[in-house]
């Protein structure tokens, strides 16, 4: 049975000088409106205990445009400015629902330069996209086709720190479920091997950041030697950003291929509920954990399973997957990171990662049979432990194998 989903198709484009100037002005105005609206909301709440709604912020935007100081806001399309206010409203909604922290101001240097256009602010004719305030369509490189007959409902234009321009088109797409299969797989995330499957297969960690570490270090050294505020420093910053972009692109491409393969081949995928934020507190392994990008892999598995009719089961982060002997059910007292193979008292010999993946699969299938996709998490206050997975804590005896 097919289903309708909204998908974003991202392409690179090359703007003309006029288009680049117009988009740069729009990015600046979007950032200004967002920050000013956030400032007003913060002042009203902490000073008067009064909340400001989106409607009130929109009315304030109209008054800002009439003032002499902010009259330049009228030079760009009004739609991206209104969308910035909607994004701020959503950020506050997430904050009050305790799904996110308090909204932060957008920095000129660190925040993502982007602008969102709705239907009223762009023209789509014959496969050519023209944004508001522009006379010519964007020069988009169509690396893949849009769904047949699909038209974008929302367009987001962005520029990354490396100076590359991208346009993301949100379209309705019809997806058919993947062919049914009885296969199921448990996945144990790691550092030496990016993932180990319950089938015994290990997928090595490409270590994208390590491959370009020397190039990145050289670019950052050159950046640090340039005078602040100089044109040479701006050029050096772009060179360093290009190295980061190269690493991120390769990592994203690898994770997309891996997640797609796992979803296509298996009806049920079982993973652990890792708390990556806490894992990064381990100073020895933080860099390797960041490079592994386990959170990105989980996110891809989540939406791809939903798209193609697969089941994703997430088990409790406290489940002793590495210390549990599958055949007899015995849980080892300790399992330092340097122990990669171990023998249970029942005589069973285990590879640490393969055993963990098989235990994860068994626990996930049991939870799925009970209709519980996520096993209940243990309160950390009971044991006095932080929610850091035991397997990634540095052992006092021996050095972990990375």
Q: Residues with catalytic annotation? A: 188, 272, 353
375/114 Cα distance (integer angstroms) = 39
User: In a 3-state reduction of DSSP, which class is residue 378?
Assistant: coil
Pair 247, 206: CB distance under 8 Å: no
299-338: buried (b, 16+ CB within 10 Å) or exposed (e) per residue?
Answer: ebbeebbebbbbebbbbbbbbebbbbbbeeeeeeeebebe
- Taking alpha carbons only, the member of 305, 163, 310, 175 closest to residue 245 is 163
- 138: Cα separation from own chain's centroid: 27
Token pair of 323 as six digits: 């210390």
Pair 61, 33: CB distance under 8 Å: yes
Residues β-bridged to residue 5: 173
Token pair of 335 as six digits: 């399992």
329/174 Cα distance (integer angstroms) = 45
40/38 Cα distance (integer angstroms) = 5
- Taking alpha carbons only, the member of 34, 46, 49 closest to residue 115 is 34
Phi and psi for 328 in degrees, rounded to 5? -110, -15
Q: Could you count the other beta carbons within 10 Å of the beta carbon of residue 365?
A: 15
User: In a 3-state reduction of DSSP, which class is residue 128?
Assistant: strand
């Amino acid at each position: 049975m097919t289903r309708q989903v909204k998908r974003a198709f991202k392409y690179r484009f090359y703007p003309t000088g006029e288009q680049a100037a117009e988009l740069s002005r729009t990015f600046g105005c979007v950032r200004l409106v967002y920050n000013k609206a956030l400032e007003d909301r913060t002042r009203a709440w902490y000073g008067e205990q009064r909340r400001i709604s989106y409607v009130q912020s929109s009315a304030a935007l109209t008054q800002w445009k009439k003032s002499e100081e902010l009259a330049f806001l009228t030079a760009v399309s009004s739609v991206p400015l209104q969308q910035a206010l909607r994004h701020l409203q959503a950020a506050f909604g997430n904050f009050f629902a305790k799904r996110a922290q308090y909204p932060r101001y957008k920095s000129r240097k660190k925040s993502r330069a982007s602008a969102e256009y709705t239907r009223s602010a762009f023209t789509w004719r014959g496969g050519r996209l023209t944004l508001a305030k522009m006379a010519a369509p964007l020069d988009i490189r169509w690396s893949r086709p849009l769904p047949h007959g699909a038209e974008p409902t929302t367009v987001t234009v962005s520029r990354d720190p490396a100076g590359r321009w991208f346009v993301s088109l949100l379209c309705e797409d019809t997806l058919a479920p993947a062919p049914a299969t009885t296969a199921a797989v448990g996945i144990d995330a790691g550092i030496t091997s990016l993932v180990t499957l319950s089938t015994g297969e290990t997928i090595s960690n490409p270590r994208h950041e390590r491959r370009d570490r020397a190039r990145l270090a050289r670019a950052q050294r050159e950046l640090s030697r340039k005078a602040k505020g100089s044109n040479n420093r701006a050029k050096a910053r772009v060179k360093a950003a290009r190295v980061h972009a190269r690493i991120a692109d390769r990592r994203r491409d690898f994770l997309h291929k891996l997640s797609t393969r796992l979803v296509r081949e298996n009806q049920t995928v079982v993973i652990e509920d890792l708390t990556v934020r806490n894992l990064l507190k381990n100073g020895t392994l933080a860099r390797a954990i960041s490079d592994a990008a386990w959170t990105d892999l989980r996110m891809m598995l989540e939406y791809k399973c939903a798209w193609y009719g697969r089941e994703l089961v997430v088990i409790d982060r406290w489940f002793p997957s590495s210390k549990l002997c599958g055949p007899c059910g015995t849980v080892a007292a300790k399992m330092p990171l340097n122990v990669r193979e171990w023998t249970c008292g029942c005589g069973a010999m285990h590879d640490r990662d393969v055993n963990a993946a098989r235990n994860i699969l068994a626990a996930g299938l049991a939870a799925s049979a009970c209709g519980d996709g996520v096993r209940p998490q243990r309160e950390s206050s009971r044991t006095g432990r932080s929610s850091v997975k035991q397997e990634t804590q540095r052992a006092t005896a021996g050095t972990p194998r990375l």
